[in-house]
Structure 1
Amino acid sequence: MISRRPLLAAPMLGFTGQAHAQAPITLSLATATPGGGFPAYGAAFAAAVHAADPTLTIEPRNTAGSLENVNLLAEGRVDLGLVAGETATAAMAAGRGVTLLFAMYAQPGLFGLRGDNPIRSITELRGQRVAWGARGSGFVVLARQVMTGLGLDMERDFHGVLLDRAGDGPAMVMDGRVAALWGGGAGWPGFVTLARGPQGLRFVAPDAIERARILAADPALRPMALPAGSYPGQAEAVDSVGTWSLVLARPGLEEEVGYRLAAALHKARGDLGQRLAQASETTAENTASAVTDPALIQPGVRRFLRGLGLLG
């Protein structure tokens, strides 16, 4: 939680100006298990925000992932939390008081395999050992949405493995303990490790017919593509389906704190993308379009976005 909650010494000015005598604030940020995408994003996010505004300090902490993060936020035990896809939208819709701080990045769901694995389709993966991700991770929720849309059951149709740490998955693929690792998005640490392995990385994703079935079954999912060149040796884009991951704020996070964070992040947007490739999608524009109801956006962030002309 916020370790220091001083009153602001002066009112905030416009996003191009500077506030005078801003009091230092420290915020806690719930991420996920070591080795996954959320801790990598959390570290980049904290560093970029502090570089843009040294009065703001963000302290990432490892957790079990999206599901735990929602509970920590709702109970006021952390200030900010990284939450994936449907877990994030459900949390905001549930009336627990959590609000949208920023859009993080799109996460198209994909299976990562060793480059020498002959499997080429989800159908061929049936009956195989698959690492779905860390327990409590939003990736596991996304996997269930995708598999359900295909009429498959994660437990009956696969020999599924839930990880204690997201970082354990790549080694299991490389040494053959599992055939595939479920994950997604550009620069995801698990896929980066596989791509650098001796056999390289190859993706399996839903084909066009499968994507249509998934999207028809679950309107919360969206068509998404992994851009070409997102990983070493990936020459072509990979089409799939997925959701946006979001940075959420605890109930009652002060409006001025949200505004200061939004201003710092907007200033740091180039730096953030340099620190972590997929974080280049953390923009004011993506945040403004991440929800259909602006009331779900943290009040200070909402005010900042209106100042940019991105909200009515």
Structure 2
Amino acid sequence: MHREIIRKQSESPARLQAFFQTCLRTVFLASVPVIMLSLSACSGSGMGAASSNASLNDDIPAPAASPVVLTIGTADTGGSMYPAGNAIAKALENNDSNLKINVSASSGSVTNVTDLVKNRFDMALVSGDTAYDAFQDLPPFSGKDTKDIRVLGAVYSSMSNWIAPKSSGITFVHDLKDQIIANGPASSSTDRNGRIVLETLGIDSDNRILNTGFGDTLSRLSKSEVTAVHGFAGIPIASLTETAEKMDIRLLMFRHDELQKILSKNPAYHLTTIPAGTYRGQTDAIATFGIKCLLCVSASMDDETAEKITQTLIRSSGDLSKTIPVLGELSNPEFLCTDLPIPLHPGAKKAYREAGLLK
């Protein structure tokens, strides 16, 4: 090689340059397999590391989703809505660990509709007649933008219960013409329907009604501050049960023609009966009127949330019917979605159709 180089040095510069280029090309080509092998090894090592990292990442749990917090409006704690709302909240939470339901006491259906459309509540229990008036833009909701109220399902029936001490000698509701009547919290379903009854029977409701919570029932009757108490809720109404346990009471009656007049006041009303034995000392069944109590939401609730909540109601209906007596009608899941005075939310309608409860 050295002799060849020395010999080449005597040759022309052009030929010498060509000679060196040939030498460099030979060295480079000889090196290519080694370089490629090294790159292949490096590449393989990188893939293995990536694979190893992917395996490690698979073992790391995904971060928990933030809990969804919803509020359900109910009513006075001495009535039926509050315990019903609590039972429904527990059922929803038990079926979805990512769901948290706050139960809020309120003055009842009218307030619940207002708070629902103003997004203070996500869900609310509302009596069927009140929901109907809100949807139809009727008083007391005229011009208040409550038409967007929708229903996820009916949960129980509210019934008109009127009681008075046996010692009063009063037998019929129309006998209360000159008496003071405890008629539940102001703006509640009890208050609203009690006023409709009294006005239908020719009794001046403005001067005869005392608005007070159900928890005051026994105290007011014991002190003779009121002669009778009206409750419009699912039976048995807890505060009336407590009162009947501590004093002799009579469940007041309607005449048939009176009930027919009352039924004409709202299409959500229907004839029903308070079975004998519902309250201590009640030996006869009492004919009265009632409406369905609805779990309502705003039409703006997203379809997926409405559908999931409704699916839980359907799955849990049997268990809910056994939790408290007022929810007993849920033993038949069709109760949830039939004879409703306002439209179902689209998400709820989808859930009932998939469950075969609606066509």
The two structures have a TM-score, normalised by structure 1, of 0.83
2:191 maps to which residue? 140
Aligned length, in residue pairs: 286
Instruction: Pick which of 47-56 and 249-258 moved more.
Output: 47-56
Q: 1:187 aligns with which of 208, 216, 236?
A: 236
Answer whether contact 1:186 1:230 (CA < 8 A) is retained. Answer: yes
User: Aligned equivalents of 2:100 and 2:236: distance in 1?
Assistant: 25
Q: Please give the per-residue CA displacement for 1:59-84, whole angstroms capped at 9, x wherever unaligned.
A: 10122221111111111121001112
Find out whether 1:230 has 2:278 as its counterpart. yes
Instruction: Pick which of 267-276 and 46-55 moved more.
Output: 46-55
Greater relative contact order (CA < 8 Å, ≥ 6 in sequence)? 1
User: Aligned equivalents of 2:120 and 2:264: distance in 1?
Assistant: 37
Any unmatched runs of 5+ in structure 1?
A: 1-20
1:74 maps to which residue? 117
2:107 maps to which residue? 64
Structure 1 vs Structure 2: percent identity of aligned residues? 27
1:7 maps to which residue? none
User: Aligned equivalents of 1:240 and 1:182: distance in 2?
Assistant: 12
2:347 maps to which residue? 300
Q: 1:290 aligns with which of 339, 343, 349?
A: 339
Find out whether 1:90 has 2:126 as its counterpart. no
Q: Please give the per-residue CA displacement for 1:223-265, whole angstroms capped at 9, x wherever unaligned.
A: 1111233333433321111222211112311212122212212
Find out whether 1:274 has 2:322 as its counterpart. yes
**CA gap 1:218/1:89 in 2 versus in 1, 3 angstroms:** closer
User: Aligned equivalents of 1:281 and 1:98: distance in 2?
Assistant: 23
Q: Please give the per-residue CA displacement for 1:49-104, whole angstroms capped at 9, x wherever unaligned.
A: 32344333221012222111111111112100111232111223335312101212
How much does 1:275 deviate? 2.1
Answer whether contact 1:91 1:98 (CA < 8 A) is retained. Answer: yes
Identify the structure with the greater helix proportion.
2
**CA gap 1:228/1:47 in 2 versus in 1, 3 angstroms:** farther
Identify the structure with the greater strand proportion.
1
User: Aligned equivalents of 2:296 and 2:167: distance in 1?
Assistant: 39
Q: 1:101 aligns with which of 146, 152, 157?
A: 152
How much does 1:207 deviate? 2.0
Structure 1 stretches (4+) deviating beyond 6 angstroms?
Answer: none
2:248 maps to which residue? 200
How much does 1:29 deviate? 0.5
Secondary structure class of the residue paired with 1:245: strand
**CA gap 1:266/1:228 in 2 versus in 1, 3 angstroms:** farther
Any unmatched runs of 5+ in structure 2?
A: 1-63, 138-145
Amino acid at match of 1:194: T
User: Aligned equivalents of 1:112 and 1:166: distance in 2?
Assistant: 13
